[in-house]
């Protein structure tokens, strides 16, 4: 009796599974569509998050860039995966309609004579063949999800320790590389270990083995690489102008010659984006006072004390004003003439909650026409390995032009 019940239950499970497999296109299309809708929103959020790490948390530019590149790459790769899947499903739907309209397929005698002697595929065969390809394409990202999920959690822990304990980036990088090498040795080693047995029986390893054994050892790898190559334009587009948030570098010649108005003028700036450096209300100024804003970087506050103690002589030789807050790290020039700033006010922008310093500069003595603003900045640069501080003066931390009316 029990054997009969178990047999019936297994038959029902097989029937249920077969029905799901036949109708898998429905959840595939729904999941791909919904996932793509979210994935196209993520890049802007990732960009904002990476800038937040630099300006508000005080994380260095390099680790923040690695966070941006990693997360943007993950999102872009999955975008391409699901776009390819939906395109294949579009072709599949067309073939499905063709198989319904002309189930008999090609009628050779109705073709031109030169095409009558060839054998053509049946519409139903094409639908079934493409159905298999679509399902395979949709299932492939499953193996990547597990890899990226584990790697993201691990990187998140390392970055958290780096920021919380204020560790040297070299130490964190060393820990990450050593851990990857150690895991690689455990997986690729010839000796059969408990970890290797557990990994081989895991979902990730099983999915990868299914693809390798059915498609070929290298086909699945080349497919993944080709998807990554296709995602490169999207990755580069999503990280555009991020170098402007590198606080410890001068503007390059191209950025000075071809400045982006959206980064310097509030009326050209998108409300939900942060300012990287200095900015004013508009390119054309019709007032006697120029309101200048400067982006605040949390990391600047960590070096004020060290500058005042260990680099006091250097500050004197540069004739720099006493450093009381991070705004004092900047020195402003208009038409290459030093501007005396008596005080800075602190503000937080409404949309982005970005912290900025602001001051009003008297420009009543300037003639009408084109004028230039240049801002110098003092910073400390730390060695990657020895973590030794070195004073650097950025002569072109910010530079752009405005028109006085």
pLDDT at 259 over 60: yes
State yes or no: pLDDT of 239 exceeds 60: yes
- Mean pLDDT (whole number) for 341-362: 93
Query: Phi and psi of 316, rounded to 5°?
Result: -65, -40
Lowest mean pLDDT among 14-28, 84-98, 304-318, 329-343: 14-28
Average pLDDT, the chain: 86
pLDDT for the residue numbered 271: 85
User: Which DSSP string corresponds to 379-392?
Assistant: EEEE-TTT--EEEE
3-state helix, strand, coil in the chain (%, to 5): 60, 15, 25
For 51-62, write each residue's pLDDT tens digit: 999 999 988 898
Q: What pTM was computed for the model?
A: 0.83
Q: Which of the given ranges, 2-11, 19-28, 329-338, 375-384, has the highest pLDDT on average?
A: 329-338
Q: Note the pLDDT of residue 177.
A: 86
User: How far is the C-alpha of 222 from the C-alpha of 233, rounded, in Å?
Assistant: 19
Backbone angles phi, psi at 247, to 5 degrees: -70, -25
Question: Would the pLDDT of 123 be above 90?
Answer: no
Cβ(332)–Cβ(338) below 8 Å: yes
- Tally of residues, the chain: 405
| Token reading at 323 | 């450093």
């Amino acid at each position: 009796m029990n054997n009969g019940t178990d047999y019936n239950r297994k038959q029902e499970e097989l029937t249920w599974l077969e029905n799901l497999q036949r109708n898998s296109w429905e959840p595939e299309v729904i999941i791909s569509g919904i996932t793509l809708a979210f994935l196209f929103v993520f890049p802007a959020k990732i960009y904002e998050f990476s800038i937040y790490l630099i300006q508000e948390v005080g994380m260095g530019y390099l680790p923040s860039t690695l966070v941006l590149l990693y997360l943007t790459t993950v999102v872009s790769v999955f975008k391409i995966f699901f776009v390819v899947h939906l395109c294949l499903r579009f072709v599949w739907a067309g073939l499905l309609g063709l198989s319904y309209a002309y189930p008999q397929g090609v009628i050779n005698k109705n073709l031109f004579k030169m095409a009558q002697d060839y054998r053509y595929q049946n519409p139903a065969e094409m639908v079934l063949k493409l159905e298999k390809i679509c399902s395979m394409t949709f299932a492939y990202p499953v193996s990547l999800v597990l890899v990226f999920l584990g790697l993201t959690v691990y990187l998140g822990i390392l970055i958290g320790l780096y920021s919380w304990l204020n560790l040297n980036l070299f130490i964190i990088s060393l820990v990450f590389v050593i851990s990857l090498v150690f895991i690689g040795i455990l997986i690729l080693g010839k000796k059969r270990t408990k970890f290797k047995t557990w990994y081989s029986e895991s979902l990730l390893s099983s999915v990868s083995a299914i693809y390798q054994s059915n498609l070929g050892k290298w086909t699945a790898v080349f497919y993944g690489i080709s998807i990554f190559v296709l995602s490169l334009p999207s990755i580069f587009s999503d990280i555009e102008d991020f170098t402007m948030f590198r606080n410890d570098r001068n503007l390059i010649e191209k950025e000075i010659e071809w400045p982006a108005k959206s980064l310097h003028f509030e009326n050209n700036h998108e409300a939900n984006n942060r300012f990287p450096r200095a900015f004013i209300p508009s390119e054309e100024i019709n007032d006697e006072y120029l309101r200048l804003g400067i982006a605040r970087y949390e990391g600047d506050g960590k070096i004020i004390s060290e500058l005042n103690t260990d680099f006091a002589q250097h500050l004197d030789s540069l004739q720099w004003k006493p450093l009381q807050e991070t705004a004092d790290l900047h020195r402003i020039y208009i038409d290459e003439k030093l501007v005396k700033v008596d005080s800075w006010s602190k503000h937080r922008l409404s949309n982005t909650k970005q912290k900025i310093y602001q001051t009003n500069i008297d420009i009543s003595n300037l003639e009408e026409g084109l004028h230039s603003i240049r801002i110098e900045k003092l910073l400390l640069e730390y060695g990657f390995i020895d973590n030794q501080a070195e004073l650097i003066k950025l002569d072109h931390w910010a530079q752009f032009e405005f028109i006085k009316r």
